[in-house]
Amino acid sequence: MLLNLDTVPPFYKNYVKLIEETDPIQALRISGNRAQELLHSIPLAKQDFSYASGKWTIRELLCHMIDAERIFAYRALRFARNDKKELAGFDENAYAPESNASGRELKNILAEMAHLRSSTIDLFTGFSAEMLSRKGNANGTELSVASQGFIIAGHETHHLKVLKERYFSAWNG
């Protein structure tokens, strides 16, 4: 299913532009595989590294990615089921300190990410073409079910880029 960028709300366009695939399930598979490969290269000693004061640690960033994927997948489920109730937004900056990231082992966070992605792919695989085209409203923004798959993959890809450019380069540079 080719996603028309004109139908993606401005806030999410930069995420979706990072995705080359034209099928949301393929986008989820590829971004998930890339994420696992990169994230397993993080040295345990760097799990609480932050590239600047006030920025999330690596574990906090990964927990944010998990939270966001769950929320985007939940939106997709609601929209696919033709639920017409508007969904509330979420404040990722309020969620991060509540994620218990520092109380969790990095290997467990990475395993959870892999399980979650597998579950998200299963969810999207169960959607018909009609369901993928359905729309709903979240945080005052109209979104399609398919766009949620691309947003999940793009959001993850965005944060992998941030990890490489800001976190990895700060400890390597």
- Do residues 151 and 69 touch, judged by C-beta distance below 8 A? no
Residue 131: name the closest of 77, 87, 84, 85 by CA. Answer: 77
Mean pLDDT of 119-142: 96
pLDDT digits (tens, 9 = 90+) for 14-61: 999 999 999 999 999 999 999 999 999 999 999 999 999 999 999 999
Q: In whole angstroms, give the CA distance from residue 32 to residue 26.
A: 10
User: Is residue 6 predicted with pLDDT exceeding 80?
Assistant: no
* Cβ atoms of residues 136 and 142 within 8 Å: yes
Run of H or E residues at 38: helix 24-39
CA distance 32 to 65: 11
Under the banding of pLDDT at 50, 70 and 90, the label for residue 5 is low
CA-based R_g, the chain, Å: 16
pLDDT tens readout for residues 53-102 = 999 999 999 999 999 999 999 999 999 999 999 999 999 999 999 999 99
What does the pLDDT average to over 139-165? 96
Average pLDDT over residues 133-151: 95
CA 6 – CA 17 distance, rounded (Å): 11
Nearby residues of 134 by Cβ (< 8 Å), 6 or more positions away: 79, 80, 82, 144, 145
| pLDDT category of residue 4 using cuts at 50, 70 and 90 | low
Half-sphere exposure of 58 (CA within 13 A, CB side): 26
Predicted local distance difference test score (pLDDT) of residue 1 = 52
> What is the pLDDT, as a whole number, of residue 57?
96
Superfamily the domain 5-44+54-172 falls into: dinb family like domain (1.20.120.450)
Domain borders along the chain are 5-44+54-172
- Averaged over 145-157, what is the pLDDT? 97
Q: How far is CA 162 from CA 23, 85, 103, 116, 169, in A?
A: 24, 34, 23, 21, 10
Sequence length of the chain is 173
In the structure, what pLDDT confidence band is assigned to residue 113 with cuts at 50, 70 and 90?
very high
Report the alpha-carbon distance of residue 33 to residue 83 in Å, rounded.
31
